[in-house]
Structure 1
């Protein structure tokens, strides 16, 4: 699945819309992506859902979300929403 061209593009899109992440937050986002071995599109979706559900960046929520989504080996955005509903997050 191709959600955005890259995580960097998605973060830049957020910046252009006025949502400015700190350098520390961006480093953590990349750390979590590498730590969980998540695909780019999954990292983008996890970041999007984190921001929408928490109204700001929450690192522990973001990394937990990446772990859950990786554990369930989601392949589509529909599967992401289904997992979030099953877990009572969405």
Structure 2
């Protein structure tokens, strides 16, 4: 499993460049929700797929929703989002 830092580096290599405020939101969400790196990475992935860009407010709300529903794996998060038709991903 990639750390959040490794995942951001991976995404940079794929052409996604995050501004400092976006990185700040990512780590704010991590500390605010106490989510694992897997969940942070998944929330980043879903945010980028749903919004076509990084939206900090969307990301934090998604992360809160996932942690409030005790979702703690990528597979469970993607299933939850799809089953509840929360976003088109």
**Match 1:86 to one of 72, 75, 83:** 83
Match of 2:40 in 1: 43
State the alpha-carbon separation in 1 of the partners of residues 70 and 81 from structure 2. 13
1:73: Cα distance to partner? 1.4
Q: TM-score, normalised by structure 1?
A: 0.88
What RMSD, in angstroms, separates the aligned Cα atoms of the two structures? 1.2
Match of 2:71 in 1: 74
Gaps of 5+ in 2: none
1:36: Cα distance to partner? 1.1
1:8: Cα distance to partner? 0.3
CA offset digits 1:50-83 (Å, max 9, x no partner): 0011000111110011111111212332211221
State the alpha-carbon separation in 2 of the partners of residues 25 and 9 from structure 1. 16
SS of 2:41's partner is helix
Match of 2:25 in 1: 28
Q: TM-score, normalised by structure 2?
A: 0.88
1:24: Cα distance to partner? 1.2
Number of residue pairs aligned between Structure 1 and Structure 2: 87
Match of 1:17 in 2: 14
Gaps of 5+ in 1: none
